[in-house]
Structure 1
Amino acid sequence: MKIAQFSDLHYSPERLDEADRCFGFAVHDAITRGARVAVVSGDSTDHRLDAHSPALSALARQIHRLAAAMPVIMLQGTFSHEPPGTLDIFGLMGSTHEVFVASRIQQVALVGGRFHGSTGPLFNEDELAALIAMQPEAVFTCLPTVNKGQFAASVGALAAATDLGDVLATYLAASGRINARLREAGIATVGISHGTVVGCETEHGVTMAGFDHEFSLSALFDAQCSAFMLGHIHKSQSWEQGGRRIAYPGSIGRFHYGEQGEKGYLLWEVDTVAASADLVPTPSRRMVCIDFDGPPDMEKLAQLAAGTSDAFVRVRWQIDEEHRQSVDRAAIEAMFANSPGLKVEPRILPVVRSRAQGVSLETSVDAKLDRWCELANVNQSPVLERLQLLDTGDAGAIAEAVLARLDQTPSVAPLSLVVNQAQAVEAADATPVVQATHAHGDGSAWLDGDLFAA
């Protein structure tokens, strides 16, 4: 059986262009390749959307296209992205085929192109006997996002971090007993969930480790599904054991700077004993991240800008607070004016001033100042002299002494400047009037003449 798995579509006004371009391509490609069933494994939307939102309308059109070609299962994702009830409207959008919304833990069988869900979390004995007699094309074990807040309220906040994984592992083991019987009867089994596997990698290359993640690989393989389709992590990755496979397709498009790997959807081939999955890349946007340890290299940026007309660009640098104005942000923005998007992220390093070593250990102000002068390589005598003057002298007397020193400073009279200029003119023109003035040696006699005579 050929199954197309899409995940983490994140439709929103901010991401509409990227999400709809990539998902639209994936829908068309899956239909062209003859997929039998479509699975959307959570986070179809990025946050709560109004009914008249263009993003919700675009998502509805794509789901309607899928339902015209094949049955569709949509799984409840993270509550912050898909508030409870968001997907209910999609259950009414089926056309030729049904759109089944899996918003609770249950098993679902595909029989004759229609979905039949279990009344409880698992098919009971009566349902299972009837199901095996009908020979469904596949049985899906659906495990949507668990509300951790409600779980913590029931078991306590301290136990919630570790107990959730144990509870889900118990359910998966129980579903494994049902799935094993279905596989013996020649029925393909598929698991669908939305959560974090311990040891998986995020789209930024960070390994997820700890005790608060939903699944372990051993617990997922205990479900005895030929294929286990996961959502939530935006990087495509997979694990295999005895022909059975667990995989994330990753997000349908590139929504954040620094994401690693290709974006796309998974085209699965599933039978009763094994499964395989191929990542089909989507036309996700190209993102370029340029980082500098210090101020940005404008020449390097100019070279890189020539090849980024089709890419979203992020430029990061770090610089001391006192030099922050030396970076020309307007010039950087002008360089990447042809890029569809630019994000500038300077990191300003605050100036940290530490006290001179040993100053706090001195007991007097004189000693502290002397120590500071020593460390700062400053001449101590005039500084200490002025400190003593401030400490013992009268403010008025200090001011008068400063003014007296200013009065004693020799200054050039403005008149002498004019005389010098006149003498320079005398030397240049050699006129009798100026010569007579110079002969008498009277510095002010030149005023008797007409300075402005032609």
Structure 2
Amino acid sequence: MADTICGAHFSDIHYAAATLDEVGRCFTFAVDAAIERGVDFAVISGDSTDHALDIHAPAVTALAQNIRRLADHCPVLMLQGTFSHEPPGTLNVFRLLGGRYPVHVADRLQQVALRRDGTWSASDGWRFDHIPDGARALFSCVPVVNKAVVAAAVGAADAARAVGEQLALLLRGFSVVNEDARRQGIATVGVSHGTVYGCLTEHDVPMAGFDHEFTTGSLFGAGATAFMLGHIHKHQAWTGNGRVIAYAGSIGRLHHGEQGDKGFLLWEIGAEAARYALVATPARRTIDILFDGLPDMQQLRQIVRETDVGGAFVRVRWTMPEEDAEAIDRAAIERLFAGAAQVRLAGRVIPVVRTRAAGISSLADMAAKVRAWANVIDAQAEPLLACLEKLHRQAPEEIAGAILAQSFPADPAPLATRDTVEQC
């Protein structure tokens, strides 16, 4: 592809104390790979952190070290992600890292030009009136939308529709400047953080609701050659007329059951077309085993024989009645997966449902209580009432003697007759 610019697209890194081992290993690998391939720029399309972090937290130090390594190699653009993961202001510190190239934090609607000297030039408003001189690539940045603000303005019922409509208008507005850039032979890139209608989650569940920010049509409407997305943890892409929309997916495997490889995208972007390749990271392996009932130890042993569980993160799930809760030998299951990095046992208990008979406590007669209870559970009351009558008329010793007499007859059948019956 002639006159192209090469970039690395990372997303949904989610640095935190609980994720540091996984994302630290994977993101360090990804930064090494991007530097080795000589990328011209790097984009992080949101959720660099998993939640609010103290500045002295080891996760902050680890993230800053990798961002600094990137900035010593190429210009870096970091987009504001989901507010619960990246509270507003979280990314400000990365502007101050002082690498060889600048780190630009896109925390508002704007366009940003990457100049040929490796510097960033941001629009004063939401887009440029004129493309800056020396621009090598033009980025249209749409940080995460604060839906609460939209709901306060238009009402909660209309917020989802309003967000989608306004974003579609905004993206079409970017297309005017992107078309001008294309005529000048400048690569155009969109960067955003949100959900595309019909995309798949990391568990292969379609996102088909009506409260998602984007459609593929609205994203293509921005006129960018490449559109880099964050928020969804499964890598996926859509193409049309040489243009590409793609989620990089999460950098590591953060939950059990996530499908597909984890990694980052290596892009080649020109004025007319774009292409990418997924570079997989050494994300942890997970093994999920699900039983409809109690765990089958024989089946688990077969899985261990046929599957490499060494170093894997194993989760065994089952469903059981409440009365069988003590029948699970958790220690035996853990011993089977002794070579795994982690074993999680998750049993779902089906509680015994006890139906109450309304007003039963107000009945003075025990027989009436039995009839009311039998009516609630749809049982025959007569056998129960007969047993109740015996309890009233006979002593416990008499009842027990009668039961034993039925179990052990006083005049047992002759042995020959028994043998004959057994032979039959």
State the TM-score, normalizing by the size of structure 1: 0.80
Instruction: State how 1:367-386 maps to structure 2 within 5 Å.
Output: 368=371, 375=379, 379=383, 382-383=386-387, 385-386=389-390
Match of 2:118 in 1: 113
Indicate if the aligned counterparts of 2:42 and 2:74 stay in contact, CA closer than 8 A. yes
**Greater gyration radius:** 1
Q: Distance in 2 between matches of 1:228 and 1:337?
A: 44
Indicate if the aligned counterparts of 2:370 and 2:381 stay in contact, CA closer than 8 A. no
Structure 2: gaps (5+ residues) = 358-366, 403-424
Aligned amino acid, residue 368 of structure 1: R
Q: CA deviation at 1:334?
A: 2.2
Match of 1:80 in 2: 84
Could you say if the C-alpha distance between residues 98 and 354 of structure 1 is closer, same or farther in structure 2, counting changes exceeding 3 Å? same
Q: Distance in 2 between matches of 1:157 and 1:187?
A: 40
Runs of 4 or more, structure 1, over 4 Å off, are 353-356, 369-382, 403-406
Match of 2:244 in 1: 245
Indicate if the aligned counterparts of 2:181 and 2:188 stay in contact, CA closer than 8 A. yes
Q: CA deviation at 1:251?
A: 0.2
* 2:122 is aligned with 1:123: no
Match of 2:416 in 1: none
When you count helix as a share of all residues, which structure comes out higher?
Answer: 1
Q: CA deviation at 1:384?
A: 5.8
Q: CA RMSD in A?
A: 2.8
| Higher relative contact order, structure no. (Cα contacts within 8 Å, ≥ 6 residues apart) | 2
Q: Distance in 2 between matches of 1:43 and 1:333?
A: 34
User: What are the Cα deviations for residues 346-382 of structure 1, in whole angstroms up to 9, with x where unaligned?
Assistant: 01111235699xxxxxxx8399399789956985784
Instruction: State how 1:362-401 maps to structure 2 within 5 Å.
Output: 365=368, 368=371, 375=379, 379=383, 382-383=386-387, 385-386=389-390, 389=392
Q: CA deviation at 1:99?
A: 0.5
The SS at the match of 1:137 is strand
Match of 1:292 in 2: 291
User: What are the Cα deviations for residues 188-222 of structure 1, in whole angstroms up to 9, with x where unaligned?
Assistant: 10000000000100000110012210101111001
Q: Distance in 2 between matches of 1:305 and 1:231?
A: 36
Structure 1: gaps (5+ residues) = 357-363, 390-397, 410-454
Q: Distance in 2 between matches of 1:339 and 1:226?
A: 44
Q: Which of residues 7, 11, 14 is equivalent to 2:15? A: 11
Q: CA deviation at 1:295?
A: 0.5
Match of 1:449 in 2: none
Q: Distance in 2 between matches of 1:370 and 1:330?
A: 41
Aligned amino acid, residue 299 of structure 1: Q
* 2:338 is aligned with 1:337: yes
State the number of aligned residues. Answer: 386
Q: Distance in 2 between matches of 1:16 and 1:355?
A: 50
The SS at the match of 2:135 is coil
Aligned amino acid, residue 45 of structure 2: S
Instruction: State how 1:136-215 maps to structure 2 within 5 Å.
Output: 136-215=135-214
Q: Distance in 2 between matches of 1:366 and 1:85?
A: 66
Indicate if the aligned counterparts of 1:198 and 1:208 stay in contact, CA closer than 8 A. yes
The SS at the match of 1:229 is strand
Match of 1:275 in 2: 274
State the TM-score, normalizing by the size of structure 2: 0.85
The SS at the match of 2:348 is strand
Q: Distance in 1 between matches of 2:374 and 2:16?
A: 63
